[in-house]
């Protein structure tokens, strides 16, 4: 089901701003930033304020339609949930980013549920450390 439908059914209103933001979110395959979405939206609706983009992305995150991740750049990046689940290992020394499949976290997720009855939301993780090259 489309994001537009989901929002509508949950009682949220569909504004031109939200529609444009949703379209921008869907055209990106990679990890997009708020600023990038804002630029695309502004190409069509120049008056749209960036706080609207922040608020909309926050809403989409709360509804589980996008994931939010801090890759260590000083900004937050987003990822449409339809584009697949994966995580990132980030080298604190050289900045290298290694992608890992979400299955790596499955045992941990299972243990947290069994031992703590905690349902971890691990849809897009960034783990910092040292890559192979950068260890001594």
Where do contacts with a copy of itself occur on this chain (CB under 8 A)?
89, 91-92, 98, 100, 104-105, 107-108, 111-112, 115-122, 127-132, 135
Secondary structure of residue 99 in the 3-state scheme: strand
Residue 108 dihedral angles phi and psi, to the nearest 5°? -60, -45
What length does the chain have?
136
Segment holding 17, helix H or strand E: helix 16-27
CA–CA separation, 19 vs 101, rounded Å?
31
Considering only residues 82 to 121 of the shown chain, the ones binding Zn ion according to CB under 5 A are 91, 93-94, 96
Stretch that binds DNA, among 73-81, 84-92, 106-114, 116-124 (CB under 7 A): 73-81
In whole angstroms, give the CA distance from residue 65 to residue 10. 13
Taking CB under 7 A as the criterion, the residue among 22, 24, 56, 105 binding DNA is 56
- Say whether residue 134 binds Zn ion (CB under 5 A): yes
Which residue do the tokens 């990679």 mark?
Answer: 30
Q: Does 76 bind DNA (CB under 7 A)?
A: yes
Contact set with DNA (CB under 7 A): 8, 11-18, 33-35, 45, 47-52, 54-56, 58, 74-76
């Amino acid at each position: 089901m489309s994001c537009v439908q989901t929002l509508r059914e949950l009682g949220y209103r569909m504004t031109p701003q939200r529609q444009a933001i949703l379209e921008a979110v869907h055209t990106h395959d990679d990890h997009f930033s708020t600023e990038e979405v804002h630029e695309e939206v502004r190409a069509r609706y120049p008056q749209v304020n960036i706080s609207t983009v922040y608020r909309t992305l926050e809403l989409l995150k709360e509804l589980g339609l996008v994931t939010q991740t801090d890759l260590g750049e000083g900004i937050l990046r987003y990822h449409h949930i339809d584009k697949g689940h994966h995580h990132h290992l980030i080298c604190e020394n050289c900045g290298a980013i290694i992608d890992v499949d979400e299955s790596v976290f499955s045992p941990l997720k299972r243990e947290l549920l069994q031992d703590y009855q905690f349902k971890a939301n691990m849809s897009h993780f960034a783990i910092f450390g040292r890559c192979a090259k950068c260890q001594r």
